[in-house]
Amino acid sequence: MAAPPNKFPWDYDVPNDAFWTSLPFTTGRNFLQCFQKSEIEALSSQFDASLSTDDKHRLLLRIVQAKLAEAREAASQKSNHHGGSGKSPLLLHEINYDAWQKFMLAQETMQHNLGLVADEEATLKEMLAHPRPGQDKNWSALNMMSRLLEQQGRYAEAEGAALEVQPWMEAHAQVGRGSPPAMGNMRMILTAVWKQGRFDDARSIYKEMHHLVDDMGNGKFAQYQEEEAEMLETLMTDLEKWKLQHQ
């Protein structure tokens, strides 16, 4: 009998139904982790599988933003109750950073999926303005900002942001070099370098990533090896097509 796959912080048990399986895994995870199981059950009648993909994302965005507004109001009321008059109310990220970060991540995900670029950028800037206590930057937000910069054609800035994140991600005890999040970060660096016309540098990054994928079979991330190999080869195919279109 095969051993069950390892569970990592980025894994999540997304429901296996027609609504959730029609959406990217990250969409489901980033939304669902904002809510208690009982809250999801109460919302389940709204998860209509017949909706278009965009309408599903709009629905999830509305729900997340409503829940975020409730949480912000509750944080304000709580701080007023305990702090008394004459003090500024505390903000949600000051009272419950983890909850705030999850809400913001879910909001950014839906905005990205819907192509709401200005809204997505505003969300990321708010996240960047509030690093986790004890950290000098919101590294997750900076990593996502690199993706947005690349999509805006700001390739050098995208590379810079992704490179800044890389040491933090590779040193992180729960992530580490060769993990799926770190490989995603390297794919962004590869893309940004390629689209600056530095093809030899990009191919060197590709070779490094290829070795990392090969090594996955011998380590704790073995369950992701096939998926990572496919994503890497698909990316290189897409980048070669991009090169032909931009010559």
- Per-residue pLDDT at 2: 46
> Is the pLDDT assigned to residue 3 strictly greater than 80?
no
With cut-offs at 50, 70 and 90, classify the pLDDT of residue 90. confident
Q: How many CA atoms lie within 13 A of 232 on its CB side?
A: 24
Confidence check: pLDDT of 115 > 60? yes
- The answer to whether the beta carbons of residues 20 and 12 sit under 8 Å apart is no
Report the alpha-carbon distance of residue 66 to residue 156 in Å, rounded: 36
Where are the chain's structural domains?
A: 23-78+90-124, 137-246
Q: Tens digits of per-residue pLDDT, 118-149? A: 999 999 999 999 999 999 999 999 999 999 99
86-92 long-range contacts, CB within 8 A, separation 24+: 92/68
**What is the pTM (predicted TM-score) of this model?**
0.89
